[in-house]
Structure 1
Amino acid sequence: MNSNQIIILLFIGYLVYTIDNKQKNFPAPLVLLLIGIGLSFLPFFSSVHITKDIIFEWFLPALLFISAYQFPFAHLKKHAGIIAALSTLGLLLSALLLGSLLYVLSGPFLSLSFVGALLIASILTPTDPVSVVSILKQASKDPKIADVVEGESMVNDGTSIVLFTVFAGMYLGGESFSISSFLYDFALVSIGGVAIGAIFSWIVCRAISFTHQRQYQVMLSIVLAYGSFYVAENLGVSGVLSVVAAGIMLSYELDGYIKESHYREYLNSFWEVVEPSILALIFLLIGIETTNYLDFDHWIFVGLVFLASIIVRFLVLAGIIKSFSAWRSEFNWKDISLVTWSGIRGTMSVALLLSLESEYGSGDSTLISLTFGAVLLSLIFQSVTIYPMSSYFEKKAR
């Protein structure tokens, strides 16, 4: 990908987001995805490819940091219990149930091993609600749905990588599954990542207090976003959870301890330019890559994979929420349905697919294609229908 292609893609992103700013509930990521599919047929973009390194090392730290530091700490504290439950227990249950269901459903269509089904499920469990959170906030007066969906997405990106790594090793390397080993690795990677992010954020927040120039304070936020990610990854723990923890702690410090009253304004003025630029590139690049992964004959099964992922997510959410009286009284069936449908698969799922190719070899092209197809269906159908669904529930509640 050369500089001319990047500039053109960014300009397309500018045009789409300009329309998005003028039209309510305009699904900008979906439009960018479809434009990307169209661009894939132009010879000028034939050399454009998105890789796992581009997403993980360049795009993901910034997007996670933005979500984390902009997430109100009071809202996170209020919904910490349910966010943690959905991002850990909920994610694990979803992967196991979805994998089992896909293994059963695959019989008439293709030969899919149980471990292969679990691998597909682990790729489809992380959520990426970037295209629906703003719509949820507009359509509903109650922010709890958007808060839970966004909070769950931030945390489950990290936990899903651990799950994916285990199942990928079993599928491609013949490694056996040990529950004790999995729990140990999961705890080590997760706790280590959070600790690195918290330490990094504490150091940067102290530095901010001694730095009063706006441009240098913003520079420190860049160091925090990418430094916490890279240091954690190099130490063998979760870079994703590290940058999320760093962003959350910065948000906490901004609310209570950092005396620079305009620092959040300075941060927003910078990162609110970075975020749409990255999102435009991501969804356009995913669209351009789409045609490379969808040349296969199992679209009926892809549809079943998509439907199964929705059903399993609904059942797991309902089971967890209805098991606790406090959550049961706070979240009704309409809320559960909205949280379910808002769990769109996107950037992280694509990153895991690309990781399957780059780090573990090409693997099974059919498995990669059908998983990519399910991600595409999720992006299209859930993005388009989330506003009508949320508006309908809001009207019925009046």
Structure 2
Amino acid sequence: MASTSTLTLLEVSAIFLSITAVLSYINHRFIGLPTTIGVMVISILLSMIAIFLGFLGFDQLIDYEVSLLEQLDFTEVLLDGMLSMLLFAAALHVNIGDLKRYKLPIGILAGAGTVISAVLIAIALYYMLPLFGFGLPLIWCLLFGALISPTDPIAVMGILSSAGAPKSLETVIAGESLFNDGLGVVIFVLLLGILTSGDIPTANYVAHTLAIEAGGGIVFGLVLGAILYYMIKSIDSYQDEVLLTLAGVIGGYALASHWHLSGPLAMVMMGLMVGNRGRALAMSDKTRHYVDLFWELIDEILNAILFVLIGLEVVMIAYSGNLFIAAISTIIIALLARFIVVGMTTKTFNRQLDLPSGAWKVLTWGGLRGGISVALVLQLPTGPERDILLALTYAVVIFSILVQGLSVGRVARSISPKQPS
């Protein structure tokens, strides 16, 4: 059996970075898809080839790939490594004025919408899975609803930039995706605690946890952003200012995690503060250029690596005939839940939202899922329940990125940018 010996972190990082660079080159040179989608398509094809060769008895390639992936903790790499930088980079270029203008739809979709979607998906999954012989306890279904409902800012921001959506819709989808993942993670952690301990928390405990983790993360991010703003404004050296932003992101996320605050929300708030007030009032033109360039490169590189990892991880999933049909049904359920939440929001608050007619199409189809969902499902306790949810999560994520991601631009261009009166 072909396998890798135990590798150091540097060696594993070098292998995946090299794979990403080669796949990115192949995509740019021969395929021409958006980078994140292109590298994931190629990595999925490589995984499928490895699986096919394994069926034919040539299992060296798949054994090597599995052995390599087993030495990489996807959850740790994303949640403790990449996520802080990706969220900061995404928030850096979001205009606070636009967020304030569309605060109502963003707040509804990121808050109540996430909770409603999670419940709808959980209930539908609870009654659907037994039809295919995969009955799960309700708590597992609720966990799946919590991890799959938030739209992923990494997937959304990476694709929306070239989708051609009206500015208002781009702002709403981007703003929602930046905030709802923090809430989704908190809900997931609460449910995971119920699963592992068997204790149902009181309403006061849930409210307190949400206030501390979510509210504390927001306040912590604002404080960090203010400190970073003051330090950047007091000097004029683009090298040092870029270094300050990098240290603020990595150090701030580590501190937030240590204090059990929402690191994602902290990074979003810090990114918004530095990207708006900091860029406008504290940076010279030269510094602004280098800060933007540095974080754009970080965003592109880490996004490419993340989507390659998602594609390669496919070899870790065992699909049966019934599970494949259940996965297709789950994709439909996730889309319907998104449609219901978006439809309720746009219908109820039509006048107040000030969005283009037909906005529900882009808001529904543009609600992409990505690496955060995969990272969360991999945190579940090992067992048959986890294997089922892992397969369902990958199905939704891959459909979301490949099908929705490649077609959301077409849907966006069908929407008139004219605002309703």
> What's 1:90 paired with?
113
Distance 1:307 1:387, change over 3 A: same
Distance 1:213 1:328, change over 3 A: closer
Distance 1:137 1:207, change over 3 A: closer
Shift of 1:203: 0.9
Q: Which amino acid aligns with 1:12?
A: V
User: What is the rounded CA distance, in whole Å, between the counterparts of 1:270 and 1:16 in structure 2?
Assistant: 24
User: What is the rounded CA distance, in whole Å, between the counterparts of 1:140 and 1:384 in structure 2?
Assistant: 12
Distance 1:139 1:219, change over 3 A: closer
Contact 2:88 2:270 (8 Å CA) reproduced: yes
Distance 1:352 1:145, change over 3 A: same
Shift of 1:61: 0.5
> What's 2:18 paired with?
8
- Aligned to 2:397, the other structure's residue is in SS state helix
Matches within 5 A, 1:220-231: 220-231=244-255
User: What is the rounded CA distance, in whole Å, between the counterparts of 1:182 and 1:312 in structure 2?
Assistant: 24
Shift of 1:177: 4.7
* Segment of structure 1 superposing worse, 27-36 or 79-88: 27-36
Pick from 76, 79, 83 the counterpart of residue 56 of structure 1: 79
Matches within 5 A, 1:84-233: 84-109=107-132, 110-128=134-152, 130-131=154-155, 133=157, 136=160, 138=162, 140=164, 142-233=166-257
* Segment of structure 1 superposing worse, 204-213 or 388-397: 388-397
Q: Which amino acid aligns with 1:339?
A: L
> What's 1:78 paired with?
101
Instruction: Give me the TM-score of the superposition, normalised by structure 1.
Output: 0.90
Aligned residues, how many?
A: 390
User: What is the rounded CA distance, in whole Å, between the counterparts of 1:14 and 1:175 in structure 2?
Assistant: 47
Q: Which amino acid aligns with 2:108?
A: A
Identity, % of aligned positions: 25
Q: Which amino acid aligns with 2:344?
A: G
Shift of 1:222: 0.3
User: What is the rounded CA distance, in whole Å, between the counterparts of 2:226 and 2:417 in structure 1?
Assistant: 45
> What's 1:47 paired with?
67
Shift of 1:77: 1.9
The answer to which structure, 1 or 2, has the higher relative contact order (CA under 8 A, 6+ apart) is 1
> What's 1:33 paired with?
40
Distance 1:58 1:137, change over 3 A: closer
Shift of 1:194: 0.8
Q: Which amino acid aligns with 2:257?
A: E
Matches within 5 A, 1:231-380: 231-297=255-321, 298-327=323-352, 329-332=354-357, 334-356=358-380, 360-362=381-383, 364=385, 365-380=387-402
Distance 1:326 1:264, change over 3 A: farther
Shift of 1:293: 1.8
Distance 1:129 1:259, change over 3 A: closer
Distance 1:72 1:16, change over 3 A: farther
Distance 1:230 1:139, change over 3 A: closer
Distance 1:129 1:243, change over 3 A: closer
Q: What do the CA deviations read for 1:175-196 (whole angstroms, capped 9, x no partner)?
A: 3153332222112111100111
- Aligned to 2:67, the other structure's residue is in SS state coil
Contact 1:127 1:348 (8 Å CA) reproduced: no
User: What is the rounded CA distance, in whole Å, between the counterparts of 1:129 and 1:19 in structure 2?
Assistant: 27
Contact 1:139 1:394 (8 Å CA) reproduced: no
User: What is the rounded CA distance, in whole Å, between the counterparts of 2:320 and 2:150 in structure 1?
Assistant: 24
User: What is the rounded CA distance, in whole Å, between the counterparts of 1:97 and 1:343 in structure 2?
Assistant: 16
Q: Which amino acid aligns with 1:11?
A: A
User: What is the rounded CA distance, in whole Å, between the counterparts of 2:391 and 2:105 in structure 1?
Assistant: 33
User: What is the rounded CA distance, in whole Å, between the counterparts of 1:16 and 1:61 in structure 2?
Assistant: 28
- Aligned to 1:104, the other structure's residue is in SS state helix
Q: Which amino acid aligns with 1:155?
A: F
Distance 1:286 1:293, change over 3 A: same
User: What is the rounded CA distance, in whole Å, between the counterparts of 2:38 and 2:283 in structure 1?
Assistant: 41
Contact 2:221 2:270 (8 Å CA) reproduced: yes
Structure 2 unaligned regions, length at least 5: 1-10, 51-60
User: What is the rounded CA distance, in whole Å, between the counterparts of 2:214 and 2:243 in structure 1?
Assistant: 27
Distance 1:138 1:36, change over 3 A: closer
User: What is the rounded CA distance, in whole Å, between the counterparts of 1:255 and 1:352 in structure 2?
Assistant: 33
Distance 1:372 1:177, change over 3 A: farther
- Aligned to 1:237, the other structure's residue is in SS state coil
Q: What do the CA deviations read for 1:328-365 (whole angstroms, capped 9, x no partner)?
A: 55343x21111111111101101111222xxx445722
Q: What do the CA deviations read for 1:191-242 (whole angstroms, capped 9, x no partner)?
A: 1001111111111111112221111110001012112211111111111111
- Aligned to 1:100, the other structure's residue is in SS state helix
User: What is the rounded CA distance, in whole Å, between the counterparts of 1:9 and 1:290 in structure 2?
Assistant: 16
User: What is the rounded CA distance, in whole Å, between the counterparts of 1:363 and 1:205 in structure 2?
Assistant: 49
Contact 1:10 1:280 (8 Å CA) reproduced: yes
Shift of 1:17: 6.5
Q: Which amino acid aligns with 1:66?
A: A
Structure 1 unaligned regions, length at least 5: none
Shift of 1:257: 2.7
Q: Which amino acid aligns with 2:390?
A: I
Distance 1:396 1:72, change over 3 A: closer
User: What is the rounded CA distance, in whole Å, between the counterparts of 1:239 and 1:337 in structure 2?
Assistant: 31
Structure 1 position 382 matched with structure 2 position 404: yes
Q: Which amino acid aligns with 1:156?
A: N
Runs of 4+ in 1 over 6 A off after TM superposition: none
